[in-house]
Amino acid sequence: MTLHREGYATIILASLVLSIMQWGNFLLWQLTGWLWLFLLLTLGILVLAYLIVQFFRIPKRSFTFGPNDVLCPADGKVVVIEEVEETEFFKDKRIQVSIFMSPLNVHANYFPISGKVTFARYHKGLFLVAWHPKSSTDNERSTFVVEHSSGQSVLFRQIAGAVARRICYYAQEGQQATTGEEFGFIKFGSRVDVFLPLGTQLNVKIGEDVKGKLTTLAVLK
């Protein structure tokens, strides 16, 4: 396991703040003599430090996939599977699969398929909770479309939530995407939507916990 580069500055800042908090905790113990409070606050500070570091963890994963497999672009739970009108790029009906990423999930995002990136857009927006029905269209978000060698295209979208306030992405229009290659990162809770062609074989269900690069989301027909 390694730490994601997006976390370096956050971890350094958090370490400074937590160190100051622990110093204050020590001084409080010296003034009051309350060892139980010192130990309790120390435990809380250690838990906070652990949660911040683990948020930016990047586990090593070996994965295999078929030529038409659509891999999960993120860790999390499947919260939406429905046929919708996709209005930003395709402007037709697609199968939407939404994955909610809690603060405890790995937050790196991966290309679900290989092909050419034909569309890449970032949009400023609101910070509704990630499971809100309008978060897909109203929240801060970035949208990407990859055209597969089969001629079919898949759209996927990073969505900031009420806590996530920064979307990081590295995919650029015109580049060649590779299945399982990292294309972005979202800080502190978020959601990823995937829009698939009608008739695509789905391999997941509502409420299922999925893993980025490891779970096959669907198979293109």
Same domain, yes or no: 198 and 164: yes
Same domain, yes or no: 26 and 48: yes
pLDDT, tens digit, 9 for 90 and up, residues 110-130: 999 999 999 999 988 665 555
Q: What confidence score (pLDDT) does residue 72 get?
A: 96
Same domain, yes or no: 101 and 19: no
Contact predicate 129/162, CB 8 Å:
yes
Same domain, yes or no: 105 and 154: yes
Q: What does pTM read for this prediction?
A: 0.86
- Whether residue 114 lies in the annotated active site: no
Q: How many domains does the chain have?
A: 2
For residue 60 the two structure tokens come to 């090593």
Return d(Cα 56, Cα 11) in angstroms, integer: 9
Q: What confidence score (pLDDT) does residue 32 get?
A: 93
Final residue of a structural domain among 39, 58, 77: 58
The larger pLDDT score, comparing residue 6 to residue 195, is at 195
pLDDT, tens digit, 9 for 90 and up, residues 75-86: 999 999 999 999
Q: Residue 123 is part of which domain span?
A: 69-219
Q: Select which of 98, 135, 136, 190 is catalytic.
A: 190
Same domain, yes or no: 87 and 134: yes
Return d(Cα 160, Cα 140) in angstroms, integer: 5
Q: What is the residue-averaged pLDDT of the chain?
A: 89
Handedness of CA 179, 185, 188, 194 (dihedral sign): negative
Contact predicate 12/49, CB 8 Å:
no
What share of residues in the chain are helix, strand, coil (percent, to 5)? 25, 35, 40
Residue burial 108-132, b: 16+ Cβ < 10 Å; e: rest: bbbbbbbbebebbeeeeeebbebeb
Determine, yes or no, domain membership for 64. no
Q: What confidence score (pLDDT) does residue 122 get?
A: 92
Residue 44 has pLDDT above 80, yes or no: yes
